[in-house]
């Protein structure tokens, strides 16, 4: 009986721990339940402070920062940016020389976060998005060109309670810290999956309960 209880407790603890690390990746755009339009930061060519603040369509606050330490800029496809986003898209550009990677943090968690991304210099590149909460990342290869047809690759992560992500370019033709992303798509709300501290507490409680039951059997 005691061995059975210990095995059950261990199984539950492992299952809960694995449930926390359940981030999945998505590679296609989605409308989501919330979004961030970068036109709120100003017209094309507006400098972006480092760090900077923004608000989602659903009035969720957020902050952004450039790892390079300098300012970014607002650019608009067809008006200051001649890339392969959709004409009229407002962009956060990490500037040149590049000030990326770009980290965006939200005041609440989401189940999905993503945006299209393009390296500044034309040619092949590999971009990455990371969930800063659990360290999981997803990378995808793209091609930077001047087609202006919305063909910029989409990077998105779906998972549990995503509240901070980092966009970066891992390889490119030149200056991989120099890139832009368009409007963000966000999905869902804060997940009910326990955080690591809650999991540890729950697991400790289960093991403690097993200890009480064991002592009762030994009396």
DSSP letters for 112-149: EEEEEEEESSSEEEEEEEEETTT--EEEEEEEE-S--S
Helix, strand and coil content of the chain, in percent to the nearest 5, comes to 20, 40, 35
| Residue (of 160, 169, 85, 82) closest to 126 by Cα position | 169
Question: What is the C-alpha separation between 93 and 75, in angstroms, rounded?
Answer: 7
This prediction has a pTM of 0.77
Per-residue pLDDT tens digits for 108-153: 999 999 999 999 999 999 999 999 999 999 999 999 999 999 999 9
pLDDT value for 188: 78
Q: Is the pLDDT of residue 200 over 50?
A: no
The domain spans of the chain are 1-22+193-210, 23-192
Sign (positive/negative) of CA torsion 210, 211, 214, 216? negative
Q: Are strands 72-77 and 80-81 parallel, antiparallel or unpaired?
A: parallel
Share of the chain above pLDDT 90, in %: 70
Q: Are 160 and 192 in contact (CB under 8 A)?
A: no
More confident residue, 11 or 61: 61
**Taking the C-alpha atoms of 61, 64, 70 and 76 in order, what is their torsion angle to the nearest 10 degrees?**
-90
Is the CB of residue 141 less than 8 Å from the CB of residue 104?
A: no
The average pLDDT across 162-174 equals 98
Q: In whole angstroms, give the CA distance from residue 130 to residue 137.
A: 4
User: Coil, helix or strand for 210?
Assistant: helix
Q: What pLDDT is attached to residue 139?
A: 96
pLDDT, mean of residues 76-103: 98
């Amino acid at each position: 009986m005691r061995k059975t209880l210990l095995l059950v407790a261990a199984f539950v603890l492992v299952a809960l721990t694995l449930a926390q690390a359940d981030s999945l990746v998505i590679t296609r755009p989605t409308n989501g339940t919330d979004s961030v339009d970068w036109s709120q930061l100003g017209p094309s060519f507006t400098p972006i402070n480092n760090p900077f603040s923004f608000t989602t369509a659903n009035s969720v606050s957020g902050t952004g920062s450039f790892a390079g330490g300098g300012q970014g800029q607002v650019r608009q496809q067809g008006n200051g940016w001649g890339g392969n986003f959709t004409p009229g898209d407002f962009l956060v550009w990490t500037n040149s020389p590049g000030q990326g990677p770009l980290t965006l943090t939200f005041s609440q968690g989401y189940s999905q976060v993503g945006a299209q991304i393009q390296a500044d210099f034309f040619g092949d590149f590999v971009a990455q998005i990371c969930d800063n909460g659990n360290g999981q990342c997803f990378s995808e290869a793209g091609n930077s060109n001047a087609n202006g047809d919305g063909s910029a690759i989409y990077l998105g992560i779906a998972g549990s309670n995503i509240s901070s992500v980092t966009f970066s370019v891992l390889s490119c033709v030149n200056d991989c810290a120099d890139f832009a992303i368009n409007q963000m798509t966000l999905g869902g709300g804060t997940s009910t999956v326990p955080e690591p501290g809650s999991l540890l507490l729950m697991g400790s409680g289960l093991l403690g309960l097993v200890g009480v039951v064991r002592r009762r059997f030994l009396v």
